[in-house]
A and B are shown apart, each in its own frame.
Chain A
Amino acid sequence: MSKYNLDYLDELEAEAIHIMREVAGQFEKPALLFSGGKDSITLVRLAEKAFRPGKFPFPLVHIDTGHNFEETITYRDKMVERIGEKLIIGHVQDSIDQGKVVEQTGKNASRNGLQTVTLLDTIALHKFDACIGGARRDEEKARAKERIFSVRDEFGQWDPKRQRPELWNIYNGKIHKGENVRVFPISNWTELDVWNYIKREKIELPSIYFAHNRDVITRNGQLMAASPFLNMDDEDIVEHKKVRFRTVGDMSCTAAVESDADQLDDIIAEISASKISERGARMDDKVSEAAMEDRKKGGYF
C-alpha cells in the first residue's frame, strides 16, 4: 500500500479544473467572466488545462466600464487571439446611454457600481445559466462564506441565508428558469497561491502589474492613477512615482502601491512580506465594513 501527497498548487489546480468541468457538464449556457485581471487570467489557463485540445465550452465575457487601463485591453485582445475563443463584451456605456444607470458625480465618482446592471443585462441577453468568476475567499470576509456554486435569483442577488450546503466535492447546479449560478473555481486559493501559480505556469500578465513610472494623485490615503476618468480638482497634486497595481479593475477605483517590483519573484517576495491585504487597495470596499456583503446581495461578481 502506497501513500502520497499532492503538492498544494497541484491540488488547487486539480480542484479548479474539476469545478470547471462540472460547469461544462451541468449547464447549458455557461460563460467565463474575464476582467483582464490576474485571477481571471488564471481562470483562462485553468480552462485550457480542463478542455484542451477541445474548445472551451463557454465564451469569455468582459464587462467593460470604459474606464480601462489601456494595457489591460491590449492584453485582452492579444490573449483572445492566441487562445482562439469567443469574447463577448458588455459595455457600461451602453447601460448609461440606455438610461438604465446614471453616471456618478463628485470627486469619488466611479463606474464600478454600475457594472452590476451591465452584467445582469449581458447575462439576460445571452441567457447564461452559469458564470465562472475569479473571486477568492481570502479576499474578503463576505466572500469567505460564499459557496463555490453560488445561486443568484433572477435579480442577480446572493442570499447568504439561503445558501445550499456544499458537501464533499459534489456541486448542485440545479436552478429554476431565470436564475443563474456564479461559480468560483479558485475559491480556495490565496493571493500568494495565484502569484506562485502564474510563476510556475509562466503566464504572461498585463504590464501594469509590474512596477512602472506613472502620474498619480493621493486620495483617501491611496495612490490613484491620474486619468481623464478621475474627477480631479486643484487640491489634487499630481506626482510621478514608481508604482504597480495589485488588482486590476476600473481606473477610477483601483489604487496603486509604490513598488520597485518589476519581476515576478520580486512581486512574490513583496506580497509575502506585505502587510496590506489585496482588497485594501480597492476604494470600493472602504465605504463601509459591510460594503462587499451589500454589493454581492445586489448582484455584484
Chain B
Amino acid sequence: MNILKFFTAGSVDDGKSTLIGRLLYDTDSILADQLEALQSSNRKNDDGSIDLAILTDGLRAEREQGITIDVAYKYFQTDKRKFIIADTPGHIQYTRNMVTGASTAKLAIILIDARNGVVEQTIRHSYLVSLLGIEHVVVCLNKMDMVGYSETVFNAITDRYKTLAADLNLKDVTFIPVSALKGDNVVNESEYMPWYKGRSLLHFLETVDVAEEDYGLARMPVQWVVRPQTEALHDYRGYAGRILSGSFNVNDRVTVLPSGSSSVIERIEIFDQEPAQAHAGQSVTLHLKDDIDISRGDVLVNSDHLPKRAQLIEADICWMDARPMDDSITYLLQHNSKLTKCKIREIIHKVDINTLEKQDAHEFKLNDIGRVVIKTADELAFDVYSENKANGAAILIDSRTNLTAAALMFRAVAD
C-alpha cells in the first residue's frame, strides 16, 4: 500500500470543507467521539443534517469567523491506499498557504461551483497548480444538485476549463461532477447523473498512478555525517541523507558538489540493511571508497547526470511574508540541506494571477508571484524545477525575523 498526498483548492462557498468532510464521512473515517462532538455542535445545515465542514475547521478563530485560515492536514485510508489531504484556504490573502499545501502534493483537486463556472479564483488556483508543477489535476464541479444535475452545464464548464488548462500547460486533467452536500460521486456513484460514465472521486484517487519515475537524476543532499569515533568503528564515516530523486547503486560513480571531487559508492546502509540500490524518498547512509572532505550542505549526485551549477539564477518566486521584498538586504536561502546568503538582483516580472498577465514591477508584497534573478553567496547545485522538483526548489529566510519570506522555483541559470 502506498500514500497519495493531495490538496484541495476552492473557496468556502464552493463547499470545499464539505467535500473533505464527505470523503471522511463516507469512508467511515470519522470516529465516534469526533462524530459526537460534531452532532452536539450548534452548526447544522438548513435541512437539519450534520454540517460536515466542521470536521476540517480546526481552530477557534476559524470557527468564530467561519473560514479556514491555515493548512489543515487530514488522514484517511481505504483498503487500496492511504491519503493525506492538505486542506488549503481559497481566500486571496492566503495564497501562501495554498502554495505551502501544494508543495508536497502529487494531486490537486480544484473545486468549481457549478452555478458559477470558471471564475477568477479558478484561474488563480489553476495557475498555482501549474506553477508548482502538480502532476495530476481533478476538477470537481460541485453543487450539481443545484443545477438539476445537468449534463449541459457540466459540458459547458469543462469546455471552458480545457482552454484554461491548455493555456497553463496542465497535463493530466480529469473532470468529475459531484455534490459534496448530497454525496453524489464523492465516494458513492450518483444515481442522478447517468450521463456521467467516469469514476467517483474516491475511486479515482484510489487508482491514479502516482509512482515515482526515475529520470536518472540521482541526488542526495548530505544532512549529517555519521562518525561514531569509537575504537571498533574508528574509520566509519557515513553520509546520511534522504535521496531526493533518482537512485543510487553500489559501485556508482558519484560527484560531490560544490567541491567537484568524485568517488564510488562502496556501501549503502539503511540502518541494519545493506541494499545494493536505494531510491528517491529513502533515508540512507552512503559510504564512499575514497576519503574526501564532505559535510552538511554538500550534495552527492550521479556523475553522469550533473545538475546545473550557478550563483546567478532565474527563479519563479512566491512572496510569503508581510514584509515586502527588499533588494537592498541579504536573505538566507535554504536549498535542501544547503544554507547560503542571497540577494534579489532583478525583478523580471510580476504575474497578475487573476488575468495571468505579466507586468513590470518594482515591489513584491505578500502573495505576489513572479520571476526574479537571485545571486547567491555560494554556488548552488540545482536542477530546473520543471525537470526535477525535489532539487529545484528553495526558500528564502528573512534574517531579521527568521520568517520564511518566499518560495523559489529555479528556472534557469541567469546570464
Seen from chain A, the residues whose Cβ lies within 8 Å of a Cβ on chain B are 1-8, 10-15, 17-18, 21-22, 24-25, 48-55, 57, 137-138, 141-142, 144-145, 160-161, 163-170, 172, 174-176, 187-188, 190, 192, 274-277, 280, 289-290, 293
Q: Is the CB of B58 within 8 A of A50?
A: no
B267 near A: Cβ within 8 Å? no
Q: Is the CB of A21 within 8 A of B283?
A: yes
Q: Is the CB of B402 within 8 A of A172?
A: yes
Report the Cα distance A124→B365, complex, angstroms.
36
Q: Is the CB of B403 within 8 A of A167?
A: no
B164 near A: Cβ within 8 Å? no
Q: Is the CB of A165 within 8 A of B407?
A: yes
Query: Which residues of the other chain, B, contact A160 by a CB distance below 8 angstroms?
Result: 59, 61, 69-70
- Which chain B residue shows the least CB distance to A149? B404
Q: Is the CB of B31 within 8 A of A274?
A: yes
Of the A-B pairs whose beta carbons lie under 8 Å apart in the complex, a sample of 8, sorted by A's number, is A5-B212, A22-B337, A25-B223, A48-B271, A161-B61, A165-B404, A167-B395, A277-B31
> CB within 8 Å of A: which of B230-246?
230, 233, 236, 240-242
Query: Which residues of the other chain, B, contact A141 by a CB distance below 8 angstroms?
Result: 57-59, 72
B97 near A: Cβ within 8 Å? yes
Q: Is the CB of B283 within 8 A of A14?
A: yes
- Which chain B residue shows the least CB distance to A55? B228
Q: Is the CB of B37 within 8 A of A289?
A: yes
Name A50's contact: one of B31, B96, B240 (CB within 8 Å).
Answer: B240
Q: Is the CB of B402 within 8 A of A25?
A: no
Query: Which residues of the other chain, B, contact A18 by a CB distance below 8 angstroms?
Result: 223, 241-242, 283
Name B214's contact: one of A4, A144, A277 (CB within 8 Å).
Answer: A4
Known: A170-B334, A170-B393, A174-B332. A21 touches B224 (CB 8 A): yes
Among B2, B214, B397: residue with most chain A CB under 10 A: B2
B303 near A: Cβ within 8 Å? no
Q: Is the CB of B1 within 8 A of A7?
A: yes
Report the Cα distance A217→B369, complex, angstroms.
59
Report the Cα distance A2→B215, complex, angstroms.
8
Q: Is the CB of B240 within 8 A of A188?
A: no
Known: A3-B214, A168-B103, A174-B397. A14 touches B2 (CB 8 A): no
Classify the secondary structure of A's interface with B: loop
B104 near A: Cβ within 8 Å? yes
B25 near A: Cβ within 8 Å? no
Report the Cα distance A55→B74, complex, angstroms.
35
Report the Cα distance A290→B211, complex, angstroms.
39
Report the Cα distance A187→B72, complex, angstroms.
12
Query: Which residues of the other chain, B, contact A21 by a CB distance below 8 angstroms?
Result: 223-224, 240-242, 283
Seen from chain B, the residues whose Cβ lies within 8 Å of a Cβ on chain A are 1-3, 31-34, 37, 41, 57-61, 69-75, 77, 82, 84, 96-97, 99-100, 103-104, 210-216, 223-224, 226-228, 230, 233, 236, 240-242, 247, 270-271, 279, 281-283, 296, 320, 332, 334-337, 389-390, 393-395, 397, 399, 402-404, 407
Query: Which residues of the other chain, A, contact B211 by a CB distance below 8 angstroms?
Result: 3-5
Known: A11-B3, A142-B58. A4 touches B279 (CB 8 A): yes
Known: A53-B226, A55-B228, A161-B69. A172 touches B404 (CB 8 A): yes
Known pairs A5-B2, A53-B236, A168-B103; list 12 more (Cβ under 8 Å). Answer: A1-B214, A6-B212, A14-B283, A50-B240, A51-B226, A53-B230, A167-B404, A168-B389, A172-B397, A190-B75, A192-B77, A275-B32
Name A54's contact: one of B69, B227, B395 (CB within 8 Å).
Answer: B227
Query: Which residues of the other chain, A, contact B41 by a CB distance below 8 angstroms?
Result: 289
Q: Is the CB of B100 within 8 A of A166?
A: yes
Query: Which residues of the other chain, B, contact A138 by a CB distance below 8 angstroms?
Result: 74-75
- Which chain A residue shows the least CB distance to B401? A176
Which 4 A-B pairs have CB atoms at the shortest separation, nearest pair first?
A280-B33, A277-B31, A275-B32, A17-B283
Q: Is the CB of A293 within 8 A of B60?
A: yes
- Which chain A residue shows the least CB distance to B98? A165
- Which chain A residue shows the least CB distance to B3? A8
- Which chain B residue shows the least CB distance to A160? B59
Report the Cα distance A3→B82, complex, angstroms.
19
Known: A52-B271, A170-B395. A14 touches B3 (CB 8 A): no
Q: How far is the CB of A55 from chain B (nearest CB, A)?
A: 7
Report the Cα distance A161→B34, complex, angstroms.
24
Q: How far is the CB of A278 from chain B (nearest CB, A)?
A: 9
Q: Is the CB of B224 within 8 A of A49?
A: no
Q: Is the CB of B236 within 8 A of A165?
A: no
Query: Which residues of the other chain, A, contact B69 by a CB distance below 8 angstroms?
Result: 160-161
Query: Which residues of the other chain, B, contact A137 by a CB distance below 8 angstroms?
Result: 73, 75
Report the Cα distance A4→B395, complex, angstroms.
28
